[in-house]
């Protein structure tokens, strides 16, 4: 059973629409909700993927449907996913950015369509298998908090959701660990319990984004260019600036007694700028399109924590609103490899304040995009 202070205990059982990917976490979320007395229905999104992978996902969802004895709907979202997730992903790389498509998918695909489908069917709540926590203080906006298992915690991916999503969300796995989740899945004899956890971008075969970009845009994007130091000294050549990300060390083809790391990508000049490891430490970052979860942009400077990528341990510092959609964050301690295009997510303790897209990095190095 789940702990008494679980999110499931704080929300009276009702009807709930669960997004089923075919993986173990979403299957467990549905099973826990049903065990708690919820009226559960599943929803599987059909997204762009190689035919074999798409068939595997559908077969897995059908096994979950049979095991839990719940109805499941299948919705085709190939076209809208391509338009809202894949095309921006490709363009971001060509602009010298390193995008995070999972954040975009949660905001613009998964939860938008989950809530829309729930509305059409008269279902009160929506749920997923994310490891994060939803709290609903009385007479206050809903809040998103970090999950209990810090090794699996996924609030970073959900920071762009709005109140219309958060007020309807139930996250059954937020207050359990991955180890506990596996134990529960074994007890419930879920068909997904032995399946390996995917670490790939769902639409990129083999997680080879370079090959994916070349197939999407053609080999014409593979233009030879220079690899230079910050001082402009040529130290090598490349076959496409899109093939590199900030902090990359391998694959540069530079003979040097001390390793070089990618510091900046300049798509207009088709240049890749490199430096030493210590050169990638920065203290200040600016983010755009910042989404405040309570819908109220903050003014002035305030103490906060900030996370610059998934798996990064949030660093302490000062958060300052520059405009209604732009913020500046100054870290107390320099952070390594802050990357334009990734999300800057800010926290007050364990509670998510909001997040935006990194556009400018300052400190040991200055990098501006947009």
Q: Which residues are annotated as catalytic? A: 105, 202
Q: What is the rounded distance in angstroms from the CA atom of residue 214 to the CA atom of residue 228?
A: 24
- Provide the token pair at 234: 């040529």
Helix (H, G, I), strand (E, B) or coil at 364: coil
Backbone φ, ψ for residue 159 (5° rounding): -70, -15
CA distances from 43 to 83, 107, 239 (A): 21, 17, 42
Q: Which residues pair with 318 in a beta bridge?
A: 303, 330
**DSSP single-letter state for residue 196:** P
Contact 267, 368 (CB under 8 A): no
CA distances from 22 to 14, 35, 48, 303 (A): 23, 19, 15, 40
Element (H, E) at 170: strand 169-170
Q: Which residues pair with 187 in a beta bridge?
A: none
Residues sharing a CB contact under 8 Å with residue 252, sequence separation 6 or more, in sequence order: 227, 236, 238, 260, 262, 274
Q: What is the rounded distance in angstroms from the CA atom of residue 269 to the CA atom of residue 187?
A: 57
């Amino acid at each position: 059973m789940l702990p008494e202070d679980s999110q499931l205990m704080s929300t009276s059982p009702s009807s709930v629409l669960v997004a089923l990917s075919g993986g173990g976490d979403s299957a467990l979320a549905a099973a826990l909700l049903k065990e708690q007395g919820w009226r559960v229905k599943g929803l599987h999104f059909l997204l762009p993927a190689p035919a074999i992978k798409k068939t595997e996902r559908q077969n897995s969802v059908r096994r979950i449907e049979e095991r839990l004895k719940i109805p499941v709907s299948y919705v085709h979202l190939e076209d809208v996913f391509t338009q809202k997730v894949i095309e921006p992903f490709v363009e971001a790389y060509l602009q010298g950015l390193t995008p995070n498509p999972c954040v975009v998918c949660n905001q613009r695909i998964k939860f938008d369509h989950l809530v829309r489908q729930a509305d059409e069917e008269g279902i009160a709540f929506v749920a997923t298998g994310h490891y994060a926590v939803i709290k609903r203080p009385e007479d206050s906006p809903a809040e998103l908090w970090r999950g209990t298992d810090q090794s699996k915690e996924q609030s970073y991916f959900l920071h762009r959701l709005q109140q219309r999503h958060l007020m309807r969300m139930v996250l059954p796995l937020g207050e359990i660990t991955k180890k506990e989740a596996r134990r529960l899945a074994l007890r419930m004899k879920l068909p997904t319990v032995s399946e390996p956890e995917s670490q790939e971008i769902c639409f990129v075969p083999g997680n080879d984004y370079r090959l994916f970009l070349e197939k999407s845009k053609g080999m014409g994007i593979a233009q030879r260019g220079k690899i230079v130091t910050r001082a402009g000294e040529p130290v090598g050549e490349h076959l496409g600036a899109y093939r590199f990300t900030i902090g990359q060390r391998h694959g540069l083809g530079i003979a040097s007694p001390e390793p070089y790391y990618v510091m900046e990508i300049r798509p207009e000049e088709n240049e890749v700028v490199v430096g030493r490891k210590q050169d990638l430490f920065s203290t200040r970052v600016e983010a755009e399109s910042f989404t405040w979860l309570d819908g109220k942009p903050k003014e002035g400077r305030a103490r906060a924590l900030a996370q610059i990528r998934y798996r990064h341990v949030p660093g302490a510092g000062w958060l300052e609103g520059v405009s209604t959609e732009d913020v500046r964050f100054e870290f107390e301690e320099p952070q390594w490899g802050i990357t334009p295009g990734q999300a800057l997510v800010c926290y007050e303790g364990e509670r998510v304040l909001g997040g935006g897209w990194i556009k400018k990095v300052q400190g040991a190095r200055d990098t501006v995009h947009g």
